[in-house]
Amino acid sequence: MKMHHDTLDSLIDRVDELDDASRASLISRLARERHLLGTVMNSLREGILVVEASGRLEFANPASQEMLGIRERDVGETILWRAVPDLARTLKMSSKGYLLEEVNVSRELELTYPQRRIVRIYLVPFDDSLQDVQLARYVVILSDITKEYARTRQEIEDERVKSILELAAGVAHELGNPLNSLTIHLQVMRRRLKKLADTAETEKLGKSLDICSGEVERLDSIITHFLEAVRPTQPDLRDLDLIAPLEESIEFLGPELESAGVRVDLELAASLPIVQGDRDQIKQVFFNIVKNARQAMISGGIIRIRAFADDEFVYIQIGDTGEGIPQEELGKVFQPYFSTKKDGHGLGMMIVERIMRDHGGQIGINSRSGVGTLVTLQFPQKHRRIRLLEDH
């Protein structure tokens, strides 16, 4: 390829000496080169700009136009520093719009128009031999690193949360022994209290013991749920029809739902494709979500449950007619200790999300305040999960 370009350069240098036929052949070859270069530029996912020091765009490939919200017909007239003011500040522009330093630049920049992106910018001089800064040109390469940036931040956050949870798990485990001791001593005190004569004072002491016992049980429940969340067991994956554990969870919660005046409407496919799942863990997912739905409805309501499938996934949707979750709080649903209920421990949905992740599934939540919440569980069918494992 270098020899081919050297030949072209040699022909261009002596174009005045070429006859008409050779000149026409040279023009044809140059046109092909330009078409090839244009095809390559248009195919790149990275944005490529050629810009004068004054900021006027000479060239912008489609990827850069899409990133910066620039129309193709405006490329020759657009002043980049005005179109993207943050870029000027990032690249150290003078008040007249020229670069203060003619050096290679590599920066990361957040763009907010036409949509929010994190972009890595490389700027290099187009031709170092040009001394007049007003004639100098630069190549700007834009790489959209939004997903990479988000992934890195998520990994950092995951590590931070993991460290905190591991520390808290150790503390929670150590709390188990004094709680057991408290339970034993409360039982001893209760037995001795029963041997005393019934008086107003013993009745008062009995109520105090009931409160203490209840609080110990509540603390023990919080610790148990916490340890289940941060020290999960690996799922025992077997062929599973999701309808069975779903119906068992609803049946188990039946008396509680009935006493709360909550009706359950089921819309289940006649049969669902088989998934690979741990029956007990999946049952816990259904139990937690249905219980959350019941608790979201203060004075009765309806829980609607749908089960259906497409070619790749099985879907379980559980919706309620409860209070809903404010939009600003939706992103916190899977965080530890976040709960919209006064007596909630805030670990149920964290456990659900972890189980779904371990099963290769996904969970989505849509909610509107005063209308209700819809939780969608997506499970990969057996054939898809096996195929993904084989690919890895």
Q: What is the pLDDT of residues 5-31, one digit of tens each?
A: 555 455 555 656 666 677 677 677 767
292-321 average pLDDT score = 90
223 and 246 part of one domain: no
Q: What is residue 251's three-state secondary structure?
A: helix
pLDDT at 28: 74
What pLDDT is recorded for position 90? 64
Whether residues 154 and 218 fall in one domain: yes
Whole-angstrom Cα distance, residue 172 to residue 194?
33
Question: Are residues 285 and 213 part of one domain?
Answer: no
- Res. 345: pLDDT tops 60: no
Confidence of residue 376 (pLDDT cuts 50, 70, 90): very high
- Do 6 and 19 sit in the same domain of this protein? yes
Whole-angstrom Cα distance, residue 334 to residue 236? 23
Q: Are residues 290 and 169 in the same domain?
A: no
More confident position, 130 or 222? 222
Q: Are residues 369 and 294 in the same domain?
A: yes
At residue 133, the pLDDT reads 46
Contacting residues for 53 by C-beta, under 8 A, at least 6 apart:
97, 98, 99, 133, 134, 135, 136, 137, 138
Cβ(345)–Cβ(339) below 8 Å: yes
Q: What is the pLDDT of residue 94?
A: 54
Tens of pLDDT along 88-108? 666 665 545 555 555 567 788
Say if residue 210 is in the same domain as residue 317.
no
Task: Compute the half-sphere exposure of residue 347: CA atoms within 13 Å on the CB side of its CA.
Answer: 15
Q: What does the pLDDT read at residue 13?
A: 57
pLDDT at 3: 42
* CATH number reported for the structural domain that contains residue 175 in this entry: 1.10.287
Q: Single out the residue in 174, 205, 230 at which a domain terminates.
A: 230
> What pLDDT is recorded for position 305?
93
Shared domain check, 346 and 266 = yes
Residues 373 and 265 in one domain: yes
Same domain, 379 and 274: yes
Measured CA distances, 235 to 103, 239, 276, 319 (Å): 55, 12, 10, 26
For the chain, what is the mean pLDDT?
78
Q: Which domain holds residue 370?
A: 238-391
219 and 308 within one domain? no
> Among 95-104, 212-221, 232-241, where is mean pLDDT lowest?
95-104
Residue at which a domain ends, from 230, 250, 265: 230
Residue 152 has pLDDT above 60, yes or no: yes
The pLDDT of residue 317: 94
Of all residues in the chain, what percent carry a pLDDT higher than 70?
Answer: 75
Is pLDDT larger for residue 348 or for residue 377? 377
Is 323 found in the same domain as 258?
yes
Domain stops at, among 116, 144, 172: 144
Q: Could you give the number of structural domains in the chain?
A: 4
333 versus 353: the higher-pLDDT residue is: 353
What confidence category does residue 328 fall into, taking pLDDT thresholds of 50, 70 and 90?
confident
